Amino acid sequence: MNMAPVLHVSGDQPLYQQLYAYIKGEIVSGHIPAGFRLPSIRQMAVLAGVGKITVEAAYQQLVAEGYLISRERSGYFAADIEKWVEAEATGTAPIMPMPKELKKNKGEHLSYRYNFHGSVVDTEHFPYALWRSCIQEALQRYPEDFAFYGDDQGEWELRLELARYLRRARTLICEPEQIIIGTGLQQALSFLSLMTRDTHPVAAVEDPGYADARVVFQHHGFTLAPIPLEEDGLSIEALEKSGARIVYVTPAHQYPHGMVMPASKRLRLLQWAKQTGGLIIENDYDGEFRYNAKPTPSLQGMDQAGTVVYIGNFSKAFSPALRMDYMVLPPMLLRRYLEEFQAYPSPVPRLQQRAMQLFMEKGYWEKHVRKMRTLYQRKHQLLLQAIHTHMPPSVVVLGHSAGLHILLEVDTTLTEAELIGAAAEREVRVYPTSRNWLSSQAPPRPRIIVGFGGMKEADIEEGIRRLALAWFS
């Protein structure tokens, strides 16, 4: 094979880079076949009219990138390179276009000025200075953390603080040994699915209920049993007939309808679990925020038989960006976890756990929760007042005693999608409930989720006014 690369001494690229590019192009195009032995460094220097150092630099770069193979005492050989690799990289071959329906604008849902998202929290009152100080103190106090993975269940000191807080504020019956620190509800449910799928193949879910929870159960192969809601929560009678032995519930603030399960129904639910050997997964996603009375005690705190898994988080009261939650396992599941699931260490960074531990140790956490409860109660009142002022009586407010969202049931001929679209034309973003239904028993009137946690107080009334104009003008 005749190799006589043409290099330009006065070119913009160094000579070794020109030689490198020439040989690379010949290999990728197939002009230099796989296994072909290239001229020695001395021979190539003569062919290219350059010094040996230039050739050696080009060869070494080609070896480093995998285009050449260096064999001791044998020389340099072309590697087996697929032709399309360079073609795609240089754009000379067609690249599969991204389907239009898969494209998504970054932060599209945040582009609305009046964004009534149910999971966005207030950032103006986030304790930035205190949180920063806890991170800095954690770096100074625990430098050895960088050398180890940490406790599989999460840092012991954080679990100790959590257990104290949960016993005091949420009436839980728990010890630090029962707590597992995780990165969100989906991860917690996925982990629980691994531990329960073989013994509890049918999972009951509220209908309507949190769609993402349902998806996790489906991905793990559960048969789902939709349980309809009554005025005070899921139907215990329907649960008893479902054949399920595991149920996912949101008793402190049902999602999305917002009702609070009373003590009498909670006792019936616990009795069902005890009699059937069932398991209750209690998602207390925003239990700190109830506005007409004190926060509702946890279902787990009423459990005497060890049938409840409690899941809480730092998202609503602090920040969803942390992606940090926790599970409290009953003794039965804790035993199985310790025997079979120690290969799943906590995915939450140790520094973040340490910072939260210090934030709780110093009393900042409960002070912050009280502050946010007051703030959200004020926003909640502003929202209800704005609805009363601007919406017609045919709009019914549901689930308005707790949490960071309400439902608006709208008496209209418009569909859910049409209501949301009309709102968007007025720069208002509200959210559907339809995806939360598993069965086809959707209500005759559309119900729209209206969150208020992340809304500025000054924007709440204007957002509702625009919403009323979009729907009724």
Which DSSP string do the residues of 379-440 spell out, in sequence order?
HHHHHHHHHHHHS-TTEEEES-SBSSEEEEEE-SSS-HHHHHHHHHHTTEE-EESGGG-SSS
pLDDT of residue 125: 93
CB-based burial label for 135 (10 Å; 0-12, 13-18, 19+): middle
Going by their DSSP bridges, the two strands 202-207 and 246-249 should be labelled as parallel
Average pLDDT on 28-55 reads: 90
Lowest mean pLDDT among 28-37, 77-86, 320-329: 77-86
Average pLDDT on 209-232 reads: 95
Q: Alpha-carbon distance 165 to 163, whole Å?
A: 5
Average pLDDT on 78-92 reads: 60
Span 385-394, pLDDT tens digits: 999 999 999 9
Q: Alpha-carbon distance 404 to 123, whole Å?
A: 14
Residue 428: closest CA among 462, 398, 456: 462
The CA–CA distances, whole Å, from 121 to 298, 427, 452, 454 equal: 23, 19, 8, 4
- pLDDT of 465 > 80? The answer is yes
What is the DSSP annotation of 29-92? HTSS-TTPBPPPHHHHHHHHTS-HHHHHHHHHHHHHTTSEEEETTTEEEE----HHHHHHHHT-
Average pLDDT on 287-316 reads: 88
Q: Mean pLDDT for the chain?
A: 90
- Encoding tokens for residue 358? 């210090």
- Which domains does the chain carry? 15-90 (1.10.10.10), 109-121+367-472 (3.90.1150.10), 128-362 (3.40.640.10)
H/E element holding 286? Answer: none
- Contact at 8 Å (CB) between 402 and 291? yes
- pLDDT of 97 > 90? The answer is no
Give the list of residues 6+ apart from residue 49 with CB closer than 8 angstroms, or none.
7
At residue 7 the predicted structure's pLDDT band, cuts being 50, 70 and 90, is confident
3 state SS of 365: helix
- Encoding tokens for residue 153? 């269940």
- What per-residue string of b and e applies to 344-371 under the rule 16 or more CB within 10 Å gives b? bebebebebbbbbbbbbeeebbeebbee
Span 342-374, pLDDT tens digits: 888 889 999 999 999 999 999 999 999 999 999
pLDDT of residue 86: 47
For the chain, what is the total number of helices (H) and then of strands (E)? 15, 16
pLDDT of residue 473: 86
Q: Which residue type sits at 347?
A: P
pLDDT of residue 95: 55
Span 376-420, pLDDT tens digits: 999 999 999 999 999 999 999 998 778 899 999 999 999 999 999
What is the C-alpha end-to-end distance of the chain, expressed in Å? 80
- Contact at 8 Å (CB) between 208 and 234? no
Identify any residues that bridge with 41 across adjacent strands, giving them in sequence order: none
User: pTM of the prediction?
Assistant: 0.78
Going by their DSSP bridges, the two strands 405-410 and 395-398 should be labelled as antiparallel
Residue 93 — φ and ψ, nearest 5°? -110, 150
- pLDDT of 84 > 80? The answer is no
pLDDT of residue 115: 94
- Contact at 8 Å (CB) between 423 and 471? yes
Q: Alpha-carbon distance 183 to 347, whole Å?
A: 7
Whether omega for the bond prior to residue 208 falls within 30 degrees of 0, making it cis, is yes
Q: Alpha-carbon distance 179 to 157, whole Å?
A: 11
